[in-house]
Amino acid sequence: MSEKTIKDMSFEEALKELEGIVERLERGDALLEESIAIYQRGAKLKAHCEGKLKDAQLKVEKIVLDGQGKASTEPFDG
């Protein structure tokens, strides 16, 4: 398991680690205390991924059509 700070992870990095945690918990090969620790990290990774997706959604919603029907973007204040 990577010890990289979650806030510094890209969506893809966080999702990959989260998938690894889910697989490990499903196998049931971790001790109880370790399972709790990786579950807690998994919960933080899930929240991080959800935040990244929400940010992406807001950026996409900022795309507007100009007067000529061409797509343009507005700055996102996220």
Instruction: Measure Cα distances from 75 to 45, 58, 72 in Å.
Output: 27, 11, 10
Strand-pair partners of 73? 63
Q: Check whether 67 has a pLDDT greater than 60.
A: no
* Range list of β-strands (E), 1-78: 63-65, 71-73
Q: What is the pLDDT of residues 5-40, one digit of tens each?
A: 999 999 999 999 999 999 999 999 999 999 999 999
Give yes or no for a contact between 45 and 21, defined as CB atoms under 8 angstroms apart: yes
When computed from its CA atoms, the radius of gyration of the chain, rounded to whole angstroms, is 18
> Could you tell me the residue ranges of all domains in the chain?
6-73
Predicted confidence band of residue 1 (pLDDT cuts 50, 70, 90): very low
